[in-house]
Amino acid sequence: MYARSAARTVSQARAFSSSASRQTNVTVLGAGGGIGQPLSLLMKLDPHVKKLNLYDIRGAPGVAADVSHIDTGSEVTGFAADKLDEALDGAEVVVVPAGVPRKPGMTRDDLFSTNASVLRDLASAVARVSPKAHLLIITNPVNSLVPIASRVFEKAGVYDPKRIFGVSTLDVVRATRFLASVTGNDPKNTPVTVVGGHSGDTIVPLFSQSSYGKAVTGEVYKKLVHRVQFGGDEVVQAKAGAGSATLSMAFAGAKFAGALLRGIAGEKGVITPTFVRSPLYLDQGVEYFASNVELGPNGVEKIHPVGPISAEEEELLKVALTGLKQNIEKGYKFIE
Ligand code: NAD
Ligand code: LMR
């Protein structure tokens, strides 16, 4: 009896925190693209979204007209190429999948020369029009573009490190799904923490912290780590020149944005890995790092340390920190 009423109290509290919660204005920059379209669809389904503004240099009004017919509460508006400021007016969360994707044989770093300028210009507009917005960067290379956006905000005098995020959720989604393929566990209840950054060997899955993951050893473990680190290549190769992950990324982007929206709405204990300005490895010259972060009304509420890890993970982390340092410096160099 007591247990049942206690359970009811918990579920009532949950229901209260999600149904009575605050709604937020969201803008998607790059809404006409491979990620942007399904991401816009998923954001239209999120009950925490009040206004959904869709912007792209091509095709956003069409995507908006389409998505706007879905019978959920949010109002959707599309903005053409010359309407960036209008798209950002009143934005509280800005999600950015704008920019070019990889083709086979390219690294994420090969996208830098095009996407660094795209991101710099979009971040400048956000800093000018909606400086208090939370900025979620999906565009690659994430490890270099988050530092670029941070400097843009700094130069504009509006930098709040708690509000700029590199979206590394696809690594978490992959690690969780790939582990389930190996062990047969239910991925829904067994997320894997992934730390570091978002490219190749800067991606460090912490299987030792998962009750299913720690049982995976030897060659199977090595293959699993490699698959998480290079899962993006798997999709790029399979798409054979038609781009990189779009659908799984839209899912991951909506998952991260949804978590932030719940945090903004006041839900407690919303914790997920994301690439942010971080004190964790500052002593080794690494200013940005993905680890578990508690999300709340101000964005980053608390950065969690990496916690206990295995000897193999220590080695992976060492390699990741070296790569991250280079990626971050490359971003800074561009923006100086
Ligand atoms: P895409 O080419 O299908 O779409 C990109 C869209 O951006 C296009 O519609 C284009 O018109 C738009 N765009 C370009 N410049 C713009 C600008 N200045 N302002 C507004 N819109 C602009 O590419 P995609 O497959 O959607 O991938 C987008 C980016 O996301 C790529 O850089 C890709 O590498 C990255 N990505 C990141 C992750 C991640 O885990 N963080 C995962 C997958 C892809
Ligand atoms: C991914 O991990 O799928 C993305 O970063 C896209 C890519 O280029 O691999």
pLDDT for 21 equals 74
Q: Which of 118, 95, 169, 109 is nearest to 144 (CA)?
A: 109
pLDDT for 16 equals 37
For residues 159 and 54, state if they share a domain: yes
User: Alpha-carbon distance 19 to 21, whole Å?
Assistant: 5
pLDDT for 174 equals 98
Last residue of a domain, one of 140, 166, 192: 166
Report pTM.
Answer: 0.95
The percent of residues in the chain predicted with pLDDT above 90, rounded, is 93
Residue 15 lies in a domain: no
For residues 37 and 94, state if they share a domain: yes
Whether residue 127 is predicted with pLDDT greater than 50 in this model: the reply is yes
For residues 64 and 159, state if they share a domain: yes
The model's pLDDT over 63-72, given as tens digits with 9 standing for 90+, comes to 999 999 999 9
Contact 98, 167 (CB under 8 A): no
Q: Is 198 in the pocket of ligand 1 (CB under 6 A)?
A: yes
Q: Within 13 Å, how many C-alpha atoms sit on residue 14's CB side?
A: 7
Distance 247 CA to ligand 2 centre (A): 11
Q: Which of 134, 135, 100, 127 is nearest to 116 (CA)?
A: 100
- 138 known member of a binding site: yes
User: Alpha-carbon distance 87 to 96, whole Å?
Assistant: 13
Whether residue 17 is predicted with pLDDT greater than 80 in this model: the reply is no
For residues 57 and 149, state if they share a domain: yes
- Protein residue with least CA distance to atom 25, ligand 1: 34
Region 49-60: mean pLDDT is 98
The closest ligand to the CA of 112 turns out to be 1
The model's pLDDT over 216-269, given as tens digits with 9 standing for 90+, comes to 999 999 999 999 999 999 999 999 999 999 999 999 999 999 999 999 999 999
Average pLDDT over the chain, rounded to an integer: 94
Q: Residue 306 maps to which CATH number?
A: 3.90.110.10
Look at strands 93-96 and 24-29 and give their pairing.
parallel
- 43 known member of a binding site: no
Whether residue 180 is predicted with pLDDT greater than 50 in this model: the reply is yes
Whether residue 7 is predicted with pLDDT greater than 60 in this model: the reply is no
Q: Residue 130 maps to which CATH number?
A: 3.40.50.720
The percent of residues in the chain predicted with pLDDT above 70, rounded, is 94
Residue 14 lies in a domain: no
Q: Is 58 in the pocket of ligand 1 (CB under 6 A)?
A: yes
For residues 183 and 298, state if they share a domain: yes
Q: Is 32 in the pocket of ligand 1 (CB under 6 A)?
A: yes
User: Alpha-carbon distance 67 to 38, whole Å?
Assistant: 10
For residues 184 and 327, state if they share a domain: yes
For residues 79 and 176, state if they share a domain: no
Residue 132 lies in a domain: yes
- Which residue among 69, 198, 226, 304 is the active-site one? 198
For residues 217 and 315, state if they share a domain: yes
Contact 97, 253 (CB under 8 A): yes
pLDDT for 300 equals 98
Residues 6 or more apart whose CB falls under 8 angstroms from that of 301 comprise 162, 263, 293, 294, 295
For residues 325 and 181, state if they share a domain: yes
Distance 96 CA to ligand 1 centre (A): 8
Residue 207 lies in a domain: yes
Last residue of a domain, one of 166, 199, 218: 166
For residues 181 and 302, state if they share a domain: yes
The model's pLDDT over 29-45, given as tens digits with 9 standing for 90+, comes to 999 999 999 999 999 99
Whether residue 10 is predicted with pLDDT greater than 80 in this model: the reply is no
For residues 48 and 146, state if they share a domain: yes
Residues 6 or more apart whose CB falls under 8 angstroms from that of 89 comprise 129, 130
Q: What is the DSSP letter of 284?
A: G
- 78 known member of a binding site: no
pLDDT for 255 equals 98
The model's pLDDT over 285-324, given as tens digits with 9 standing for 90+, comes to 999 999 999 999 999 999 999 999 999 999 999 999 999 9
Here the tokens at position 258 are 């949804």
Residue 189 lies in a domain: yes
User: Alpha-carbon distance 145 to 159, whole Å?
Assistant: 15
Domain of residue 218: give its range. Answer: 169-335
Q: How many domains does the structure of the chain reveal?
A: 2
Last residue of a domain, one of 143, 166, 189: 166
**Measured from the CA of 106, which atom of ligand 2 is nearest?**
8
The model's pLDDT over 84-123, given as tens digits with 9 standing for 90+, comes to 999 999 999 999 999 999 999 999 999 999 999 999 999 9
pLDDT for 311 equals 98
Query: Catalytic annotation on 198?
Result: yes
